[in-house]
């Protein structure tokens, strides 16, 4: 079931009012940058697809009764905000799109190890922001998606046919440092943890895994992707012709053969040196 479309994706700049009680963790990639692609999962839960985080951001008012001090009232608000953020984040993880097989929650129902892991997943949560103002407390709790400590690494690898070995493809020695894929023709495409490239026949032939880099591979425009260095200085650029099950990208057969017939490019894609440009009429920015 598709719960979200591209219209639910938007930019978020990290502009939080700073004050004497602000204690934010501003170490990349936990901070939202202007070029990051952000998806809102629920009222308080977001996915930073570029930075590689899922997080919950909760603001709680400081309620001061006559019998307690302002300090105690703030401490109570912090505890409440942290607990709510943990709860919201756990709910968001269940909704997180993984691949064409479904969300994290759907994968979890089929895998006992994931179910056991989820019972203690909050131990991996990180406090990304703690802001205390005059009348409220804001807590942002997050979980990394990619890299050696990311959520994707806990999910069993996707097994796809080895088309590069099964087909007799022409050898292409042209040097490329990565892949950039435009999705504007795939109107219903939605980012996921592990997208795949597919043929027009519906066969998926190459999964894009990212367990080496903690950052994501989704961007709003090619310039940002190039500045980010995700696909190197000489990427192969192509346009997906459609989407498959919302999360995978169908490309032309010629483009598929060019990737599979180029050992260097194929290796780059398998290592996650890919930038997917999610843009078009369904996008809004702010």
Each residue's pLDDT tens digit, 241-266: 999 999 999 999 999 989 988 989 99
Other CB atoms within 10 A of residue 232 CB: 17
Of 279, 178, 283, 278, nearest to 226 by C-alpha is: 178
* Alpha-helix residue ranges (DSSP H) falling in 141-193: 163-166
φ/ψ region of 280 (left if φ > 0, alpha if ψ in -120 to 50, else beta) reads left
The dihedral built from the CA positions of residue 225, 231, 237 and 238, taken in this order, carries a sign that is negative
Each residue's pLDDT tens digit, 108-126: 999 999 999 999 999 999 9
Q: What is the pLDDT of residue 60?
A: 96
For 153, which DSSP code?
A: G
Q: What is the pLDDT of residue 3?
A: 42
Q: What is the pLDDT of residue 182?
A: 95
Mean pLDDT of successive 10-residue stretches along the chain, which has 286 residues: 41 32 37 86 94 96 85 92 97 95 93 92 94 91 92 82 55 87 91 94 88 88 88 94 94 91 89 85 36
Other CB atoms within 10 A of residue 131 CB: 20
Q: Which runs of E-coded beta strand occur in 122-225?
A: 126-132, 136-144, 178-182, 196-198, 204-207, 218-219
The answer to whether 244 and 202 are in contact (CB under 8 A) is: yes
pTM for this model (two decimals): 0.83
Q: What is the pLDDT of residue 218?
A: 95
Q: Which runs of E-coded beta strand occur in 42-109?
A: 45-48, 53-61, 97-99, 102-103
């Amino acid at each position: 079931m598709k719960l979200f479309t591209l219209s639910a994706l938007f930019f978020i700049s990290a502009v939080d009012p700073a004050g004497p009680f602000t204690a934010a963790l501003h170490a990349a990639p936990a901070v939202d940058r202007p070029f990051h692609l952000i998806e809102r999962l629920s009222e308080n839960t977001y996915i930073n697809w570029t930075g590689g985080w899922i997080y919950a951001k909760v603001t709680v008012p400081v309620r001061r009764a006559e019998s307690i001090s302002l300090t105690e009232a703030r401490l109570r608000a912090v505890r409440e905000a942290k607990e709510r953020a943990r709860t919201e984040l756990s709910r968001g993880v269940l909704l997180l799109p993984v691949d064409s097989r479904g969300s994290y929650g759907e994968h979890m129902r089929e895998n006992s190890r994931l179910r056991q892991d989820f019972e203690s997943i909050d131990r991996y949560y990180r406090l990304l922001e703690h802001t205390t103002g005059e009348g409220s407390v804001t807590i942002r709790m997050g979980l990394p998606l990619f890299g050696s400590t990311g959520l994707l690494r806990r999910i069993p690898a996707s097994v796809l046919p080895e088309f590069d070995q099964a087909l007799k493809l022409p050898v292409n020695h042209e040097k490329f440092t990565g892949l950039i894929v435009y999705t504007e023709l795939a109107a219903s495409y939605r980012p996921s943890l592990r997208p795949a490239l597919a043929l027009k026949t519906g066969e998926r032939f190459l999964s894009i895994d990212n367990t080496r880099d903690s950052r994501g591979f989704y961007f709003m425009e090619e310039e940002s992707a190039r500045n980010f260095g995700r696909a190197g200085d000489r990427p192969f650029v192509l346009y997906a012709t459609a989407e498959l099950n919302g999360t995978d990208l169908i490309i032309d057969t010629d483009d598929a053969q060019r990737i599979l017939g180029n050992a260097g490019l194929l290796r780059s894609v398998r290592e996650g040196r890919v930038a997917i440009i999610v843009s078009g009429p369904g996008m809004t920015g702010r």
